[in-house]
Amino acid sequence: MVPVNYYIILSAVLFTIGALGVLIRRNPLIIFMSVELMLNAANLAFVAFASLRGSLTGQIFVFFVMTVAAAEVAVGLALIVQIFKARHSINVDEMNNLKG
Amino acid sequence: MTMTIDLILFLILAVVAVASALGMLLSRIAVYSALFLVLNFGTVAVFYLLLGAPFIAIAQVTVYAGAIMVLFLFVIMLLGAEQLAPGKALPWQRPLAVLLAVTLIVEAAYLLISRGAAAGTITSPGIALNDMDSLRALGKALFTQYLLPFEATSILLLVAMLGAIVLTKPANGGRK
């Protein structure tokens, strides 16, 4: 018997760590991983509430979030590879124009 | 308050999850960050099992810890991404980020606990996890009520695949 609040607090903690990673890291790959962590924290909250209510909708939504995350990672990593090829650097501080 | 097995398991896994997330955040080498994140995804998959969502747990292991993190590791090793020089970050950026993160977690915890379904406990399923009923119900919902979003995700994945191929094509190969 675990109170659902514990899951929600854990989800909030993981989400905050992800947000902190986006804010303080300069490596776009780490920033990307932090975004994945935030998506994962949201998924945990979805499944916790779905389990609490005995409903399947939360689980199905998590399935869709996973699909979108997979698509996002494929395109995002391709972009990072291309930016590295063009500029020989992946520091986000230097990605300040759209001309490539 | 009696410490049940569920609660002990939850606390141990929560410590592992938070510690691996912090390790992902703080380690200086990108490969270590990716491996910490794999550990984090694994613990979250066990949480899904505790919450009675076996399909989501297995999908988490295969999609996140398998496919996505392998892709990350490939790109990290392809780019040699840990050679990123410690650049000149803004001096006030880190304290401001910590302050904003603390604000975020305080208000998120307050709102979720006060407005969410505050009272309620989750009993993790025992042997019930092993029968096919939950999977059958999930598949039925996915292919009847949620059929249109399901098909939309297939198109989304196709578009993402095409986008990745087009983006990583050699620059001179694209121009005729």
Residues B60-88: pLDDT tens digits?
999 988 889 999 998 888 887 665 656 56
Asked if the C-beta of B77 comes within 8 angstroms of chain A's C-beta atoms, the answer is no
3-state secondary structure of B122: strand
Q: Say if residue B90's pLDDT is above 50.
A: yes
Exposure on the CB side of residue B176, measured as CA atoms within 13 A: 0
Q: Say if residue A58's pLDDT is above 50.
A: yes
pLDDT in tens, A21-42: 998 888 888 999 999 999 999 9
Average pLDDT on B31-54 reads: 91
Q: Establish whether this prediction's ipTM goes over 0.85.
A: yes
Domains of chain A: 4-94 (1.10.287.3510)
Q: Indicate the helix (H) or strand (E) that contains B121.
A: strand B121-122
What pLDDT was estimated at residue A89? Answer: 73
Q: What are residue B121's DSSP bridge partners?
A: A3
The answer for A 58-77 residues in CB contact with B (under 8 A) is: 59-60, 62-64, 66-75, 77
Q: For all residues of chain B together, what is the average pLDDT?
A: 83
Average pLDDT on B45-62 reads: 90
Name which of A6, A8, A11, A20 to mutate to probe chain B: the one with the most chain B Cβ atoms within 10 A of its Cβ: A20
- CA B107-B122-B5 angle, to 5 degrees, is 110
Cβ–Cβ contacts within 10 Å for residue B113, how many?
A: 15
pLDDT in tens, B91-106: 788 888 889 989 988 8
* Paired sense of beta strands B121-122 and A2-3, if any: antiparallel
Q: Under a CB-based contact definition with an 8 Å cutoff, are residues B130 and B57 in contact?
A: no
Asked if the C-beta of B93 comes within 8 angstroms of chain A's C-beta atoms, the answer is yes
What pLDDT was estimated at residue B3? Answer: 58
User: Which sign does the torsion angle of CA B129, B130, B136, B142 carry?
Assistant: positive
Domains of chain B: 1-84 (1.20.120.1200)
Q: What is the pTM of this model?
A: 0.87
Q: Say if residue A81's pLDDT is above 70.
A: yes
Least confident of A85-94, B32-41, B47-56: A85-94
What pLDDT was estimated at residue B133? Answer: 79
Name which of A11, A15, A32, A40 to mutate to probe chain B: the one with the most chain B Cβ atoms within 10 A of its Cβ: A40
Asked if the C-beta of A3 comes within 8 angstroms of chain B's C-beta atoms, the answer is yes
Report CB contact under 8 Å: B84, A27: yes
B144 contact residues in A (CB cutoff 8 A): none
- Look up residue A32 and give its two tokens: 């990307």
User: Percent of chain B beyond pLDDT 70?
Assistant: 83
Nearest by CB to A48, from B34, B122, B134: name it.
Answer: B122
Asked if the C-beta of A87 comes within 8 angstroms of chain B's C-beta atoms, the answer is no
- Look up residue A68 and give its two tokens: 């979108």
Report CB contact under 8 Å: B24, A21: yes
Radius of gyration for the alpha carbons in chain B, expressed in angstroms and rounded: 21
pLDDT in tens, B106-161: 888 788 777 765 567 777 676 666 677 778 888 898 899 999 999 999 999 999 99
Chain center to CA of B146: 23
Asked if the C-beta of A51 comes within 8 angstroms of chain B's C-beta atoms, the answer is yes
3-state secondary structure of B38: helix
What pLDDT was estimated at residue B89? Answer: 64
Asked if the C-beta of A54 comes within 8 angstroms of chain B's C-beta atoms, the answer is no
Q: Say if residue A54's pLDDT is above 90.
A: no
What pLDDT was estimated at residue B176? Answer: 45
**DSSP collapsed to 3 states, B59-108:** HHHHHHHHHHHHHHHHHHHHHCHHHCCCCCCCCCHHHHHHHHHHHHHHHH
What pLDDT was estimated at residue B158? Answer: 94
Q: Say if residue A49's pLDDT is above 70.
A: yes
Residue A78 has phi, psi (to 5 degrees) of -60, -40
The residue among B128 and A62 whose pLDDT is bigger is A62
Report CB contact under 8 Å: B68, A64: no
Nearest by CB to A82, from B53, B120, B167: name it.
Answer: B167
Residue B78 has phi, psi (to 5 degrees) of -65, -40
CA distances to A60, B64, B152, B159, B162 from B155, in Å:
17, 20, 5, 6, 11
